Amino acid sequence: MSELKVDGTKCIMCCLCEMACGFRRDEAFSTLASSVVIYRNEEKNNYFGVMLKQEKDLVLGRPEGLEVRRIGEAMDAEDTSAAAAKPVLLRESCDLCEGEAWCARFCPTGAIILS
């Protein structure tokens, strides 16, 4: 069965994955409906990575490594990046674009791949 593999260390913050996902959902350029979001809230300290909402899990491709959380699990209140992920939980879950995985196809670095 195919699945997306996320490697936050390869992310360069180009956000193509986010736009490609949003485009697939809206057939227009917008990122609000995207199941994948680039976390870039901490610009000054250059901390960024990939957040992917799956049906049961929230995949956090952090620069220090991968973390997968069960959706519904309590989040550490002091973990700012986890707190920032909350809006992502309201999005639709990734459905792999019925096999097309547009996020992976547009990603230039292999930070998201379809395996």
- Name the residues that contact another protein, by CB under 8 A: 9, 12-16, 19-20, 23, 26-32, 40-48, 62-64, 80-81, 84, 102, 105-106, 108-109
Dihedral in degrees, nearest 10, Cα atoms 39, 23, 68, 113 = -110
Measure the CA dihedral 98/99/103/106, to 10°: -130
- Output the smallest distance, CB 37 to another protein, in A: 10
- State the first-to-last Cα distance of the chain, in angstroms, to the nearest integer: 8
Burial (0-12, 13-18, 19+ Cβ within 10 Å), 113? middle
Q: Give the shortest CB-27-to-another protein separation in angstroms.
A: 4
CB of 19 to another protein, least distance (A): 6
Q: How far is the CB of 56 from another protein (least distance, A)?
A: 26
The amino acid occupying position 88 is: V
